[in-house]
C-alpha cells in the first residue's frame, strides 16, 4: 500500500514533467502544425548553459534557471524564424527532417562545447530527500513538490494568457485560421515566432527541473531524447490539439510508467512508452480530448 502511494507520488511528479514537455509540443503543433522533434535537443542545450553557469561558474540556481529560460526563448524564436518558417507550409516530411537536423546539430554542438563522455549532475533547487511521514520516507521530496508547483503555475499562467488576454486571442486566431487572422490585421508571422519562443522557454524550464532530480543528469545524448518520446506520447494521449489534454496525458503517462516500472520491469521505460503510444494510436488516435473527431491522424 505504501509502495503504491510512493509510486503514485512519483508518477505525479514525473508526470508533470511529461505534461510540460507535451504542452510545449502542443503549443507548437497548434500554431504551426509541426511536431518539434528538436524539443529534446533544445532543452538539453539550454540546460547545459544553466549547468555551465551553476556548476562551473557558481552562479545562483535561480539565476541560472532564468538564464536557461531566456536562452530557450531566444533559441525558439531563432529556430522558427530561420529554420521552420521556410518549411511551414510544405509537406510534413520536410518539417520533420528540418527539426531532426536541428536536434542533431544541437547535440553535436553541445558535445563540442562540453564533451560527451561525462554525465554531469545538476544541483537541485531544493532538497531531494523525501518528506517524512511518521517514520517512513515518502518518495516525494521538496524538489518534487517544487516541480509540481512550478509546472502547475506555468500551466495556469498559459491558460490565463491564452483565454483572457488580447495577445492570447490573437495567438489562438493565428493558429486556427492564419489567413483570416491576417485579414484582420494580426501579425501572424510574429505570433508564430512568439509561440515557438514560449514553447522553447517552457522546455528550458523543464530541462532544468528534470536535471535536478535524483535520476537526472546532463549529457548531450541520453536523457533528453527519451523525454521527447514521453512528451510526444503524453501529447498524443491528450490529443495533439489540446493543452488540457497534454497536462492530463502527461499525468496519466507518468502514473502508468511509474507503476509499470515497479510492477513489471524497470529497464524498459521507453518500451512501455512505445506500447502506450501504439495502443493510443490504434484505439483513439485523436486523443482523449481532441475537439474534432474528424481530425485525421
Applying CB under 8 A, among 2, 60, 89, 90 the residue interacting with other proteins is 90
Applying CB under 8 A, among 115, 123, 136, 149 the residue interacting with other proteins is 115
Between 70 and 169, whose beta carbon lies closer to other proteins? 169
Site string for other proteins, 141-170 (x = CB under 8 A): -------------------------x--xx
Residue 110 CB partners (closer than 8 Å, separation 6+): 44, 45, 48, 220
Buried b (16+ CB within 10 A) or exposed e, 31-52: bbebbbbbbbbbbbbbbbbbbb
- Site for other proteins contains 111 (CB under 8 A): yes
* Rounded to 5°, angle at Cα 169 from 207 and 36: 35
We find the least distance from the C-beta atom of residue 169 to other proteins, in angstroms, to be 6
Distance CA 10, CA 88 (A): 38
**Binding-site size, other proteins (CB under 8 A):** 76
Applying CB under 8 A, among 43, 106, 151, 155 the residue interacting with other proteins is 106
- Site for other proteins contains 119 (CB under 8 A): no
What φ, ψ does residue 42 adopt, rounded to 5°? Answer: -65, -45
- 243-263 helix and 2-32 helix, angle to the nearest 10 degrees: 140
Cell numbers given for 45: 542545450
Site string for other proteins, 205-224 (x = CB under 8 A): ---------------xx---
- What 8-state DSSP symbol labels residue 81? I
Between 74 and 186, whose beta carbon lies closer to other proteins? 186
Q: Within 38-67, which residues bind other proteins (CB under 8 A)?
A: none
* Rounded to 5°, angle at Cα 233 from 230 and 238: 125
Between 120 and 269, whose beta carbon lies closer to other proteins? 269
Applying CB under 8 A, among 18, 45, 48, 114 the residue interacting with other proteins is 114
We find the least distance from the C-beta atom of residue 122 to other proteins, in angstroms, to be 20
Cβ atoms 142, 211 nearer than 8 A: no
Between 140 and 230, whose beta carbon lies closer to other proteins? 230
- Site for other proteins contains 232 (CB under 8 A): yes
- Site for other proteins contains 37 (CB under 8 A): yes
Applying CB under 8 A, among 56, 100, 119, 153 the residue interacting with other proteins is 100
Cell numbers given for 278: 501504439
Q: Within 182-201, which residues bind other proteins (CB under 8 A)?
A: 182-188
Distance CA 118, CA 83 (A): 30
Applying CB under 8 A, among 49, 80, 277, 290 the residue interacting with other proteins is 277
We find the least distance from the C-beta atom of residue 243 to other proteins, in angstroms, to be 13
Residue 138 CB partners (closer than 8 Å, separation 6+): 5, 6, 9, 130, 131, 132
Residue with C-alpha cell 521527447? 228
Cell numbers given for 79: 529556430
Amino acid at each position: 500500500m505504501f509502495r503504491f502511494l510512493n509510486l503514485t507520488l512519483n508518477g505525479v511528479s514525473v508526470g508533470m514533467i511529461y505534461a510540460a514537455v507535451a504542452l510545449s509540443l502542443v503549443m507548437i503543433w497548434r500554431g504551426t502544425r509541426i511536431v518539434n522533434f528538436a524539443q529534446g535537443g533544445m532543452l538539453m542545450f539550454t540546460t547545459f548553459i544553466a549547468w555551465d553557469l551553476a556548476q562551473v561558474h557558481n552562479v545562483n540556481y535561480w539565476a541560472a534557471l532564468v538564464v536557461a529560460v531566456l536562452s530557450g526563448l531566444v533559441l525558439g524564436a531563432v529556430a522558427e524564424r530561420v529554420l521552420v518558417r521556410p518549411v511551414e507550409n510544405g509537406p510534413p516530411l520536410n518539417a520533420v527532417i528540418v527539426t531532426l537536423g536541428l536536434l542533431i546539430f544541437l547535440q553535436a554542438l553541445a558535445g563540442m562545447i562540453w564533451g560527451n563522455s561525462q554525465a554531469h549532475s545538476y544541483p537541485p533547487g531544493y532538497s531531494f530527500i523525501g518528506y517524512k511521514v511518521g517514520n517512513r520516507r515518502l518518495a516525494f521530496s521538496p524538489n518534487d513538490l517544487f516541480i509540481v508547483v512550478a509546472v502547475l503555475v506555468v500551466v495556469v499562467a498559459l491558460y490565463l494568457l491564452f483565454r483572457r488576454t488580447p495577445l492570447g486571442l490573437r495567438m489562438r486566431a493565428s493558429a486556427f485560421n492564419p489567413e483570416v487572422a491576417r485579414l484582420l490585421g494580426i501579425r501572424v508571422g510574429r505570433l508564430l515566432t512568439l509561440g515557438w519562443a514560449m514553447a522553447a522557454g517552457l522546455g528550458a524550464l523543464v530541462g532544468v527541473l528534470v536535471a535536478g532530480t535524483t535520476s537526472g543528469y546532463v549529457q548531450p545524448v541520453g536523457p533528453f531524447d527519451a523525454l521527447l518520446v514521453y512528451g510526444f506520447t503524453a501529447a498524443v494521449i491528450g490529443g495533439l490539439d489540446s493543452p488540457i489534454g497534454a497536462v492530463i496525458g502527461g499525468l496519466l503517462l507518468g502514473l502508468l510508467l511509474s507503476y509499470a516500472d515497479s510492477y513489471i520491469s524497470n529497464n524498459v521505460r521507453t518500451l512501455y512508452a512505445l506500447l502506450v503510444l501504439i495502443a493510443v494510436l490504434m484505439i483513439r488516435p485523436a486523443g482523449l480530448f481532441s475537439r474534432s473527431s474528424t481530425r485525421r491522424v
